[in-house]
Amino acid sequence: MFESIFKRGVLSNSTTTQTPDLTVDVHAHLLPQLDDGPVDIEQSIEIIKEMYQIGYRKIIVTPHVMTGYYNNAYEDILQSLHILRSVLKRRNIAMELEAAAEYYLEDELFRLIERKEVLTFGGNRKYLLFEASFVTKASYILEAALRIKQAGYTPVLAHPERYVNLNDIEAINRLAYNGVLFQINIGSLTGYYSKQAQELAELLINRKLVAFLGSDCHSLTQLESIKQAFKLKIFKEATKLDILNNTLLENKSTVYA
């Protein structure tokens, strides 16, 4: 049935939508061969087709950028985006794609910022998605976030619920007071990563401290936990918060930006 829908051409808005409240994803590893996401473009397409089926209409793809592991220059990311968009267009898959990145917190990030070689999202808001080692001290994350802000970007911390040193509401509040936006992983709500991550994600939702919901999707398998999370009450509560995801869908009828 899934294939037959695609054979008819462009998926219309009348197809099954399970997440009407969440149409934009801001964290996904879907560009092939750039990181630990899809190994080829066919895998990318399969995931994107499934994400369309569950209600997404726009995905901001965010490959890892991390020296020595994922040396993705912004030109390479944009080139990969261009190729993937072209294939989607040829196959009449109406998912809008944009590219940013998930920057690892390291000195190189600040060199890239200085050279204006970072990919951000949200137009003038210049949301810069970053992550750190899961055992990083909260004070180091705060210091880095302030440097990102000083450079004119809005720091968005990827999956704060996964950092061991942020399991402390005071540390979380300190980051929030200093303008750090939090992007939680939808899969965390099912306990996909750990019990602690699940509890912290729930706390962030209950305290209304979530700015973005992200899939952090790397594979079709991982998408299953996200689909499970969509059924949870806590997920529905999260979508009722003042989350910024859907503000990024500038034109709902736009197929290709």
Minimum CB distance to Fe ion smaller for 185 or for 198: 185
> Please, what is the minimum distance in Å from the beta carbon of residue 161 to Fe ion?
13
Cα 103 to Cα 76: distance, rounded to the nearest angstrom: 15
Minimum CB distance to Fe ion smaller for 11 or for 190: 190
Stretch that binds Fe ion, among 71-79, 188-196, 212-220, 234-242 (CB under 5 A): 212-220
Which amino acid appears at position 198 of this protein? Answer: Q
Number of neighbours of residue 39 by Cβ within 10 angstroms: 11
> Please, what is the minimum distance in Å from the beta carbon of residue 197 to Fe ion?
13
Q: Could you write out the DSSP letters of every residue in 7-58?
A: HTSSPPTTS--S-TT--EEEEE--STTSSSS-SSHHHHHHHHHHHHHTT--E
Cα 139 to Cα 58: distance, rounded to the nearest angstrom: 34
161 binds Fe ion (CB under 5 A): no
Burial code (b: 16+ CB inside 10 Å, e: under 16) for 95-126 equals: bbbbbbbbbbbbeebbebbeeeebbbbbeeeb
Q: Which tokens is 158 given?
A: 């990827």
Stretch that binds Fe ion, among 8-16, 113-121, 181-189, 216-224 (CB under 5 A): 216-224
> Please, what is the minimum distance in Å from the beta carbon of residue 152 to Fe ion?
23
Stretch that binds Fe ion, among 65-73, 99-107, 147-155, 244-252 (CB under 5 A): 99-107
> Please, what is the minimum distance in Å from the beta carbon of residue 184 to Fe ion?
12
> Please, what is the minimum distance in Å from the beta carbon of residue 218 to Fe ion?
7
> Please, what is the minimum distance in Å from the beta carbon of residue 3 to Fe ion?
29
Minimum CB distance to Fe ion smaller for 11 or for 184: 184
35 binds Fe ion (CB under 5 A): no
Stretch that binds Fe ion, among 15-23, 102-110, 194-202, 219-227 (CB under 5 A): 102-110
Minimum CB distance to Fe ion smaller for 11 or for 160: 160
> Please, what is the minimum distance in Å from the beta carbon of residue 240 to Fe ion?
25
Sign of CA dihedral 164, 165, 171, 175: negative
Instruction: Count residues binding Fe ion (CB under 5 A).
Output: 2
25 binds Fe ion (CB under 5 A): no
Helix (H, G, I), strand (E, B) or coil at 250: coil
216 binds Fe ion (CB under 5 A): yes
Task: Order the strands of the 24-28 sheet from edge to edge.
Answer: 24-28, 58-61, 96-99
CA distances from 39 to 17, 29, 30, 69, 104 (A): 27, 11, 9, 15, 21
Backbone angles phi, psi at 186, to 5 degrees: -60, -40
102 binds Fe ion (CB under 5 A): yes
Stretch that binds Fe ion, among 110-118, 170-178, 205-213, 214-222 (CB under 5 A): 214-222
Give the residues lining the site for Fe ion (CB under 5 A): 102, 216
